[in-house]
Structure formats: structure tokens, C-alpha cells
């Protein structure tokens, strides 16, 4: 994961990073630490693909 000094971060996959994000998650609360923890969760929603949880 790449992080910037202002707290932004960017994650990717084994296939690499795309120039255009497929999903952007933002908050209007400074310093909440969203994304400071990321983990594999297995197939949470039953769609056949493993999911990632962000804390």
C-alpha cells in the first residue's frame, strides 16, 4: 500500500495498479485512521471471491 503524508493511501492487486480507481472511499473526519488495518476475510458475501476488510 502506498501512503502520502496527508494520510491518503492507495492499494492494488497482484495484477498491478490501474491509473483510474475502481472504488474511492473517503471520510470528512480527519485522523480517523481508516485503512490503517487491512485483512483477508474469506468469501464474506458468498459471491465466490475472497473479500478484504478495512479497519
- pTM here is 0.42
Give me the pLDDT at residue 49, please. Answer: 84
| DSSP annotation string for 18-36 | -SS-S-----SSTT--TTS
**Cα 55 to the chain's mean position, in Å?**
9
pLDDT digits (tens, 9 = 90+) for 7-36: 666 666 667 667 777 777 777 777 777 777
* pLDDT for 2: 59
Q: What is the mean pLDDT of residues 42-51?
A: 86
Task: For residue 51, give its domain range.
Answer: 1-55
Using DSSP's 3-state secondary structure scheme, residue 2 falls into strand
Specify the number of domains making up the chain.
1
CA distance 14 to 20: 16
Per-residue DSSP letter, 14: T
Amino acid at each position: 500500500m502506498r501512503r502520502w503524508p496527508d494520510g491518503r493511501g492507495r492499494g492494488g492487486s497482484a495484477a498491478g495498479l490501474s491509473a483510474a480507481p475502481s472504488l474511492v472511499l473517503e471520510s470528512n473526519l480527519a485522523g480517523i485512521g481508516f485503512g490503517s488495518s487491512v485483512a483477508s476475510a474469506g468469501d464474506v458475501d458468498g459471491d465466490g471471491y475472497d473479500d478484504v476488510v478495512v479497519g
